[in-house]
Amino acid sequence: MSSVAEPQTTTRYIDALAQGMRTAMQEDERVVLLGIDVGAGGGIFTVTRGLHEEFGSERVIDTPISEMGYVGAGVGAAMTGLRPIVEIMFMDFVGVCLDPILNQAAKLGYMTAGALQIPIVFRTQTGAGRSAGAQHSQSLEAWFAHVPGLKVVMPATVTDAHDLLVAAVRDPNPVVFIENRRLYGMRGQAGEDPLPLGQARVARSGDEVTVVTWGQSLRECLSAADESSASLEVIDLRSLVPLDMETVIASVRRTGRLLVVHEAVQDFGAGGEIAARVADELFDELRTPVRRIGTPSVPMPFSPELERTLLPGAAAIAAAGEALLAEG
């Protein structure tokens, strides 16, 4: 996961995801996949390739373009004995299928005082940077983290692509599992040893500025750590819910400085929550203000040049780290 080239023999993120689904389906018969072209077609990004052949069309189910219907059906199936992994092809498409996530999966366990369990994984992906346009580039993890009853997971490494997916399927709760398509081709260590959800990881140690991030921005932060004259400690949150503030607080207590980085729009994004919590809890220990870097409040443009203008990159992160160090 460092920015140094990895040997080509390791696994790709996309294969780790497939392997995660395979592991989950092998260990539990009740796990089924639902989504548009996840079956015979192997997925529009080839993530589910091979699973249809291996597990058959009863467990790897192609759906029509009816997200509200099949996502809702996934929730109904989860209440009644299956453990579905439901794919929402692009995160932006939650606009047509939010109700089953927001009002059903997130709430029915609570509203029945635990009588219903809803073990479902909503797999989706996001990721700007390839000119997919404003309707195919949004990172909306903050929305889901704001809804009580949903877990929100964003694997940033090849290992986690497998491990967090298996952990998400094993979890008895609804999990929004957010991949980043710019990571699909990345190579790294295959995972095999799922931890429970909710443990952040110190991806790189440092002692001057703590950088908290998740998803594909991790790569940018690691590159920034390589480039920067400041010593950056990079923390990969892995999940927003559960949120491992302990790891964050422990690090900032040492460094005295915090930068939160995410690809999502900065305004009213998840970074605000982390920043607000740390600024509160470590009020007396912070040497400098907590800073955030996210995308400016602009729909993502098609133009590659304009997209680059907006997305937080390694250089900006490195510079922000240095600026913090200079401040105090």
Ligand X SMILES: Cc1ncc(C[n+]2csc(CCOP(=O)(O)OP(=O)(O)O)c2C)c(N)n1
Segment 28-57, which members bind ligand X (CB under 6 A)? 36
* 149 part of the interface to another protein, by CB under 8 A: yes
Q: C-alpha 304: how far from its chain's center?
A: 23
For 119, the 3-state DSSP assignment is coil
Of these residues, 136, 162, 220, 233, which one is catalytic?
136
Of these residues, 67, 179, 220, 322, which one is catalytic?
67
Q: Judged by CB under 6 A, which of 17, 89, 241, 252 binds ligand X?
A: 89
* 63 part of the interface to another protein, by CB under 8 A: yes
Interface size with another protein, residues (CB under 8 A)? 76
| Rg of the Cα atoms in the chain | 19
Burial-class residue 313 by CB neighbours within 10 Å (0-12, 13-18, 19+): middle
Q: For binding to a second copy (CB under 8 A), which residues are involved?
A: 68, 92, 94-96, 98-103, 106-107, 110-111, 133-135, 138, 140, 142-143, 145-149, 240-241, 243, 264-265, 267-273, 275-276, 279-281, 283, 286, 288-292, 296-299, 301-302
Contacts of 231 (CB under 8 A, 6+ apart): 206, 207, 208, 209
Binding mask 116-145 for another protein (x = CB under 8 A): xxxx----------xxxxxxx---------
6 classed as catalytic: no
> For the chain, what's the residue count?
328
- Residue list 95-124, contact with ligand X (CB under 6 A): 96
- Closest approach of a second copy to the CB of residue 156, in Å: 19
CB 85 within 8 A of CB 169: yes
Q: Judged by CB under 6 A, which of 40, 65, 111, 315 binds ligand X?
A: 65
Spell out the alpha helix ranges (H) of the chain: 13-27, 51-55, 67-79, 99, 108-111, 141-145, 158-170, 217-227, 245-255, 270-281, 304-310, 314-327
208 classed as catalytic: no
- Closest approach of a second copy to the CB of residue 298, in Å: 5
Inter-CA distances, 267 with 33, 134, 262, 263, 310, Å: 34, 17, 11, 11, 13
* 93 part of the interface to ligand X, by CB under 6 A: yes
Site residues, ligand X (CB under 6 A): 36, 65, 67, 89, 93, 96
Catalytic (active-site) positions: 67, 136
